[in-house]
Structure 1
Amino acid sequence: MRSELRDLRGILENQLSGLAWGEMGRGCPQRVELLRRLMSLGLNAEHCQSIANRISDYTDSDQAWSQALALITDELRVTDDDIISQGGVIALVGPTGVGKTTTVAKLAARFALRHGYQEVALITTDSYRIAAYEQLRTYGRILGVPVRVVKNAGELSAALETFQHKRLVLIDTAGMGQRDVRLAEQFKTILTGAPQNQKLCAAGCKCTGKRAE
């Protein structure tokens, strides 16, 4: 009985939601389009509504989208720390093809030139693709730095314990789309297995006003 009531409630909520979208679409189609595009980014409905409320309904679609992206960018917390100077535990995240592994290699090389190869270690959480680990291992061999592949939070924690005396530990992650079911598991691995003072760098992210690479 309880299950049937829950299903009925879901049906009613979906119908009401559809009516609300239809009503809004007749009154302000630009806002509906903006909300749909925001929700396609994976943001929750409340956050999308909050962003849309700060943009005039009379703004054309392209300009409204640019303003929305600018608002999202302003909400993102970014660090001004120079990785090459400060070091630390750095995880690079981003979709497939943006250059995370190459960026890891470049950062490792620059840090090694300044502070010594013995101060650097590399870790990859990309256990899904053998080629990804082999690529990072090749970079590690060229630079003379250790490379470790981890599959879960426990292995990541153990690897970081092994590399605790390194001034810079770079974590390469698997490239996944925002709707990939493995994405949440990967973030859980990083956030659970790594220390609280770690930094996440969005590789290949270009936004209005700010840029993170």
Structure 2
Amino acid sequence: MYDKIFDEVAKEYDNWYETHYKIFLCEKEAIKKLSLQGLGLEVGIGTGSIASELGIKLGIDPSLPMLFLAKEKGIDVVRGFGEILPFKNEIFDFVLISTTLCFVGDRISLMKEVHRVLKRKGKAAVCFIPRDSAWGRYYIEKGEQGHRIYRHARFLSFGEIIELLETPGFVIKKIVSTLRFSPEGEPILERPIEGIANGGFVCLEAEKKEI
């Protein structure tokens, strides 16, 4: 699924990382706890705010306005879809997918493509907002009220994410979470912890099985 709403809100989307910098810092620190080394790709790179902070040099996204902003941050960008990655087999050491799967129609195809382009023992890093977390319920309610971004999202449960990773042949190696504070309270800087622990932002590191 691709909706041009992301073309229309690219600048607003990019500004979110500044206006919600404490939340962004919490999420960034959680991702940094994963073992993401070597040649990497971010699928659903958006405006490149996460990639630029983590040193990821390549990203793919269907939204041209977002890619223009990512390119301004020094990132090499490709316009395309995660369900049909325009890359050769087994070339990446890791692939990051952060808060993207809730906007993807064919998630199974996307994860199969991620598996295909990863080297043996390559890492898939999937970060998401659990549907049944306080943050998930908060964004779902916003969507039901007509929010122009969140009304397009289908948030997933932890179990659904596990199934998406295991189906193409990934093994879960690490789980990290953050955003344990209420989405309706004052944001605070907190350290990421291992496990789910009622986190509103959860990252899974999964390794490609050797055949």
* TM class, shorter-length: 0.3 to 0.5
Instruction: Output the TM-score relative to the length of structure 1.
Output: 0.33
Instruction: Output the TM-score relative to the length of structure 2.
Output: 0.33
- Give 1 or 2: higher strand fraction: 2
Structure number, greater radius of gyration:
1
